[in-house]
Amino acid sequence: MRWRILLLVLCVGCASRSVDDYQSEGEAIQRSLVKELKKVQSVEQLRERAPRLRHHFNDLVELMIEARKNIRGEAVVHDSRWSDALRGEMIRLYELEGAREVMESAEREALTKLDRFEEKKAH
């Protein structure tokens, strides 16, 4: 009986994810980023939130990489609502002196992972 439960858990855990699954998770991460960024009114506050932002950026890139590995040839409908909100918050923050450097630092690890993946994929 135990092995059947374990087998069931393993099978469910290994079930492939759909485009909708990736999109939903990506939107949730973007919502979290927007929520964090909306709280920021100064570079000091941005520095305080940088570890959380770094975590969200890494989660988003890991999801993107996983989706690119697993989703091939499926049509993707892009809902830009959260992407637009995220872009708007980043533009707002970039107007603060010193914020660009803090944001780029928070993004750096995630973007490096994405670049490495893209380079491997190209070869």
Residue 63 has pLDDT above 90, yes or no: yes
Can you tell me whether residue 123 is helix, strand or coil? coil
End-to-end Cα, the chain, rounded Å: 46
Cβ–Cβ < 8 Å for 60, 110: yes
pLDDT at 73: 64
CA distance 101 to 99: 5
Q: Which residue has the tokens 């533009």?
A: 91
pLDDT per residue as tens digits for the range 40-53:
999 999 999 999 99
User: Coil, strand or helix: which one is 13?
Assistant: helix
Find the mean pLDDT for residues 20-35: 94
pLDDT at residue 74, as a whole number: 58
